[in-house]
Structure 1
Amino acid sequence: MPVPSEPLGPGNGRNRDIECLRAVAVIGVAFHHMQGSLFHPGLPWIAQLFRHAQFWFGVDLFFAISGFIIARSLLPQVAACAGNVRQQAATIGAFWIRRFWRLLPSAWLWLGLILLATLACNRSGAFGSLHANLMATLAGMLDVANFRFADAIFRYEYGASFVYWSLSLEEQFYLLLPLLVVVLRRRIDLLMVALVLLQLCLFRTTLLMSIRTDALALGVLLAIAVPGRMYAALNPCFLLRLRAVRVLLPCLLLACLAWLASTDPLAMPFRISVIAAVSTILVWLASYDNDYLLPAGRFKRALVWIGARSYAIYLIHVPVYFLLRELCFRLGAAVILPAWLLAALAIGLIALLADLNYRFLEQPLREHGQRVAENFGQRWKDRQLPVYAPALLPSPSPAGEGQ
């Protein structure tokens, strides 16, 4: 899912190409969920399209982006304080604080609104049962929604917040990655390679699909490679000479992802691994932030705008679909909206709510979280013995310096 990340790019700004990838990913996921969530039970032409191209691959693209962005920001910080347990603890604690304030307030807000809609705006039953949504809300708040999703799929009702499975998986990743980096140090790359190779050999059951981490691992490996010479040597600057024609490459890669997502898992059991690899190629092209995916212009600015709000769009789009279904149900047969108008209303409402969420919740709380994290880190690092303490206490042994 489109979990927001630390700023990355020239002058501490955002990487515009990464934002474009986020936009493409969230548009694909939102379109995928239209079938069945907004258009119920579905439109024939979309069903026909899905036989040849599906767009849920946006989730794996989000995973690759998150693995790269988070590792690119976190790994140098942890490496800078290697050997100093206190500074490492301060760095990891500050990272977790930033993630908390960046992600959970918006996630919990929309979980609450879904519950409210289930109680007060659900004559059509679009939002599902209260019990299912209560259980889904609890799973989302405890960051175990991916395990509930794996257990529920094809067996019982999950609830209207089913997209939270990917958020839970990413938050588990954010919790474990810093600890693994501290324990494994420079060998974190071997663990990431092992995760990729292991999942390449496995058939993806519903449980394994809900804990798939190959795209996250590949994103981390890309981040590890960035300071190296090979990353600089592989810079595809020749793409700039192709001018507008260079958009053919990302378009072909995205078409490949859509086709892979539509293939039969029994006929192609390794398709998820290939989707993760192709997604990482797109993130690699975007990582240079040099317009390799798309020339600068109005269309790119629009994608950057969408990408910046992709987290809110991801959280909001399914509740909006269900809300519009409820409104159509209440209007009854007196007003039958054509599919194009219903889609336009959904897009407009999602854009409005996502922008409000971004401006008045995400951004202010992100800045607040940054301040809280800085204060925490400074206080933690300052918790040391006074300078006169060695004169009063025995000198600590080297083994006790980090305690």
Structure 2
Amino acid sequence: MTDSARAPGAAHWPGLDGLRGVAALAVVVFHMSLGPAVNGFAGVDVFFVLSGFLITSLLLRERATTGRVALGRFYLRRVLRLYPALVVTCVTASVLGAVTGKSAEVTGAAVAALAYVANWWIYLGHPAALLEHTWTLSIEEHFYLLWPITLVLMWSRRHALRLLGAIIATAAVAALVFRWPDSIDAVRASYLRGVPIVWGSLLAIAMRRWDFGRARRPLSWLGLVASVSLLALLSAPWHLVGATGAFGVSGLLTVLVVAGIATSSGGEGGLWANRVLVWLGRRSYGLYLYHFPILSLATHQLHAGPDWLRACAGLVTTLVVVVFSYRFVELPFLRLKDRRFGSSRSSAEGARTNKHQDLDPDTPVLRQSGHTWRR
């Protein structure tokens, strides 16, 4: 993206945090098991699009700034960002499994989640009590693992043809091994559910390569229409399965929303910049990790009181755990990540920006000299 498409000065975009907060809320309400609820699968699509957009933007900016991508540092930053809270979740789930007599079902799922193969574990029919939701993390982590390498190879003309051949061969093998999903469990495990990550990545590439300055107003209006449509889809008590669901209608809507936010002159994010949603968005990773085992226990293991009361109690417990985890588990590693493995310019900027943002690496920041995606 050229400078003409960027807002002047430095500005925080709370809209993307709020968008992530809405997605997290949709997934949590979906798992509260209160009958017809909201579209949790659309919430996952939103997460995937944002991951593709932010990670690809980060990689593109690093190459534009330094002329290369430090893969080792990238992977170390990912580990410090994602693994501490995941370890706490899996260990806690294993303990809860032992207490509730489901140790055999939880232990294998915990190992699969820590190895980021939960989607394969579920696809092969293994139980994943308390940790069924980690299939999304596995698909996302496989993207984190392969996409940076793919970009580096694509930037090298010498390896471009080999890469193309490898992609075709991999796609052929995947088509044979992973058939088109014909059930909800198969949809969860299928890489087709990760297609929205591609939409987000393509948006990041497009915004880096082309000047969207003249299209700022149309994109803002289009983003507003997409925002309303996405809210309607997130609120719908049904989900899409098969080709339509796999390729992500909600993912495409999210692309338009992100494009509208990213090209808006003020960068405030409009209806997505609600303080509550922004707060939830900055803690959405922990919220996603902890809500499922807690709600599962509250709604299926406890039998005192009506269903709605147990679900609400589980939600309150989840929020308390998220607050403590963000403060005492995630933030220390985030500070370590920014201090030890961030570039000098990013670290200096992060120190200024995060003075009021709790060092959250998922907070997008706009600089006049280029995009800085602190993810």
Q: Deviations over 1:293-330 (max 9, x none)?
A: 4176xxx011100100100000010121133247734x
Q: Provide closer, same or farther for how the CA distance between residues 222 and 263 of structure 1 changes in structure 2, counting only shifts above 3 A.
A: closer
1:253 is aligned to 2:213: no
Residue 268 of structure 2: aligned partner: 291
Shift of 1:119: 1.4
CA distance in 2, matches of 1:261, 1:166: 19
Residue pair 2:56, 2:201 contacting (<8 A) in 1 also: yes
1:180 is aligned to 2:150: yes
TM-score for both structures, normalised by structure 2: 0.74
Q: Provide closer, same or farther for how the CA distance between residues 364 and 264 of structure 1 changes in structure 2, counting only shifts above 3 A.
A: closer
Identity among equivalent positions (%) equals 28
Shift of 1:338: 3.1
Deviating runs (4+, > 6 A) in structure 1?
9-13
Residue 304 of structure 1: aligned partner: 278
Q: Provide closer, same or farther for how the CA distance between residues 109 and 92 of structure 1 changes in structure 2, counting only shifts above 3 A.
A: same
Q: Deviations over 1:150-186 (max 9, x none)?
A: 222xxx5222111111111111111111111110018
CA distance in 2, matches of 1:97, 1:163: 24
| Corresponding residue SS for 1:233 | coil
Residue 333 of structure 2: aligned partner: 365
| Corresponding residue SS for 1:231 | coil
CA distance in 2, matches of 1:228, 1:372: 30
1:110 is aligned to 2:95: no
Residue 201 of structure 2: aligned partner: 220
Q: Provide closer, same or farther for how the CA distance between residues 340 and 10 of structure 1 changes in structure 2, counting only shifts above 3 A.
A: farther
Residue pair 1:119, 1:130 contacting (<8 A) in 2 also: yes
TM-score for both structures, normalised by structure 1: 0.69
Could you tell me which of 89, 92, 95 is aligned with 2:74?
95
Which of 346-355 and 9-18 deviates more?
9-18
Residue 210 of structure 1: aligned partner: 190
Residue 19 of structure 1: aligned partner: 17
1:71 is aligned to 2:56: yes
Q: How does 1:239-388 map to 2 (within 5 A)?
A: 249-256=226-233, 262-263=239-240, 265=242, 269-273=243-247, 274-288=249-263, 290-294=267-271, 300-325=274-299, 328-329=302-303, 336-374=304-342
Residue pair 1:316, 1:353 contacting (<8 A) in 2 also: yes
Where in structure 2 are there 5+ consecutive unaligned residues? 1-6, 345-375
**Structure with more relative contact order (C-alpha pairs < 8 Å, separation 6 or more):** 2
Shift of 1:77: 0.9
1:163 is aligned to 2:148: no
CA distance in 2, matches of 1:282, 1:186: 32
Shift of 1:105: 0.7
Q: Provide closer, same or farther for how the CA distance between residues 96 and 271 of structure 1 changes in structure 2, counting only shifts above 3 A.
A: same
Higher alpha-carbon Rg: 1
Q: Provide closer, same or farther for how the CA distance between residues 208 and 59 of structure 1 changes in structure 2, counting only shifts above 3 A.
A: closer
| Corresponding residue SS for 1:168 | helix
CA distance in 1, matches of 2:272, 2:21: 15
Q: Provide closer, same or farther for how the CA distance between residues 176 and 355 of structure 1 changes in structure 2, counting only shifts above 3 A.
A: same
| Corresponding residue SS for 1:270 | helix
Q: How does 1:221-236 map to 2 (within 5 A)?
A: 221-236=202-217
Where in structure 1 are there 5+ consecutive unaligned residues? 1-8, 36-42, 330-335, 377-403
Shift of 1:236: 3.2
CA distance in 1, matches of 2:328, 2:11: 20
Q: How does 1:19-58 map to 2 (within 5 A)?
A: 19-35=17-33, 43=34, 46=35, 49=36, 54-58=39-43
Residue pair 2:46, 2:251 contacting (<8 A) in 1 also: yes
| Corresponding residue SS for 2:292 | helix
Residue pair 1:25, 1:61 contacting (<8 A) in 2 also: yes
Alpha-carbon RMSD across the aligned residues, in angstroms, is 3.5
